[in-house]
């Protein structure tokens, strides 16, 4: 890293606020803060049109949004293939560093190859690592005996890609570090505690204490609330 402003590119299928999800919101907040500090940031992925949501922050779509989830709320395998096919369209000219999420996996080898050819560092952020949990997510009785092993293998092979890996939690960092054989830094998701407390203090006593908006799938652990 040098003292000069850097040109960052965040690549993910979803871009906030067109899509309301955790990874894209994290990317948006990081981009806004990096832009405020004087860096240039490109958010690249699926979006309807280019834009400039904040100073020094640009949205550069590689394609318009596609269907991301199947009826049960799980990610579509076709979506992962489509995203991987669009890696070649990412605008890398002049970029100093590329960041991408580990999911949906299939884009990682192609993006790593492009970055390696251009000598651009690739930072992979791991939001989760499931390992044998894939057996519960893709149970053999529904998907066949080998499907969960295929997904687990894709995840394990993906761990080798990226100049450096970071994770959003200590749990995930430990799992990733064991396979990569190196220290994995934790860059946690930002939670605006002060704002949450202020809003809670102003809330109507008759209102529900908490409203969840998201996919009702087991991995979201709504049962813990």
From residue 210, give the alpha-carbon distance in Å to each of 32, 57, 93. 27, 32, 44
91: in domain: yes
| Residues 194-225: b if buried by 16+ CB within 10 A, e if exposed | eeeeeeeeeeeeeeeeeeeeeeeeeeeeeeee
Give me the domain span that covers residue 217: 7-224
Q: Judge whether 1 lies within some domain.
A: no
Whether 173 is in a domain gets the answer: yes
Q: Could you tell me if residue 2 is inside a domain?
A: no
Q: What is the mean pLDDT of residues 201-210?
A: 76
CA dist 65 and 215 (Å) reads 18
Task: Give the C-alpha separation, 65 to 71, whole Å.
Answer: 17
Confidence of residue 73 (pLDDT cuts 50, 70, 90): low
What Rg, from alpha-carbon coordinates, does the chain have? Answer: 19
Segment holding 105, helix H or strand E: none
- Tokens for 163, please give them: 């100049």
- Give the model confidence (pLDDT) of 112-127 as tens digits: 999 999 999 999 999 9
Tally of structural domains, the chain:
1
pTM above 0.85, yes or no: yes
Question: Is residue 22 included in any domain, yes or no?
Answer: yes
Number of Cβ within 10 Å of residue 98's Cβ equals 26
Q: Is the pLDDT of residue 99 over 50?
A: yes
Which whole number is the average pLDDT over 201-219?
77
Instruction: Please say if the pLDDT value at position 175 is more than 70.
Output: yes
Q: What angle do CA 129, 130, 131 make, to 5 degrees?
A: 110
Token look-up 């009785």 returns 141
Using DSSP's 3-state secondary structure scheme, residue 23 falls into: helix
Quote the Cα angle for 150-153-157, to 5°. Answer: 140
Q: What is the CATH number of the domain that holds 88?
A: 3.40.50.2000
- For residue 120, being part of any structural domain is answered with yes
The answer to whether residue 144 sits within a structural domain is yes
Q: Which residue has the higher pLDDT, 39 or 210?
A: 39
Is-contact 79 85, C-beta < 8 A? no
Whether residue 49 is contained in a domain is answered as yes
Helix and strand tally (H, E) in the chain? Answer: 8, 8
């Amino acid at each position: 890293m040098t003292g000069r402003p850097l040109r960052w590119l965040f690549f993910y299928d979803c871009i906030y606020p067109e899509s309301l999800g955790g990874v894209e919101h994290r990317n948006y907040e990081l981009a806004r803060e990096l832009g405020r500090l004087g860096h240039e940031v490109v958010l690249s992925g699926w979006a309807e049109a280019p834009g400039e949501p904040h100073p020094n922050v640009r949205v550069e779509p590689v394609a318009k949004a596609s269907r991301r989830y199947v009826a049960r709320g799980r990610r579509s395998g076709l979506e992962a293939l489509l995203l991987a096919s669009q890696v070649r369209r990412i605008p890398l000219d002049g970029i100093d560093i590329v960041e991408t999420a580990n999911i949906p996996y299939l884009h990682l080898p192609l993006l790593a190859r492009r970055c390696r050819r251009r000598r651009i560092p690739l930072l992979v952020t791991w939001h989760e690592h499931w390992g044998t949990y894939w057996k519960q997510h893709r149970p053999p009785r529904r998907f066949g005996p080998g499907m969960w092993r295929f997904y687990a293998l894709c995840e394990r092979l993906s761990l080798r890609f990226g100049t450096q890996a970071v994770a959003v939690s200590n749990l995930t960092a430990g799992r990733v570090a064991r396979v990569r054989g190196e220290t994995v830094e934790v860059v946690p998701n930002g939670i605006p505690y002060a704002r949450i407390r202020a809003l809670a203090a102003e809330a109507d006593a008759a209102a529900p204490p908490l409203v969840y908006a998201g996919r009702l799938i087991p991995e979201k652990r709504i049962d813990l609330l």
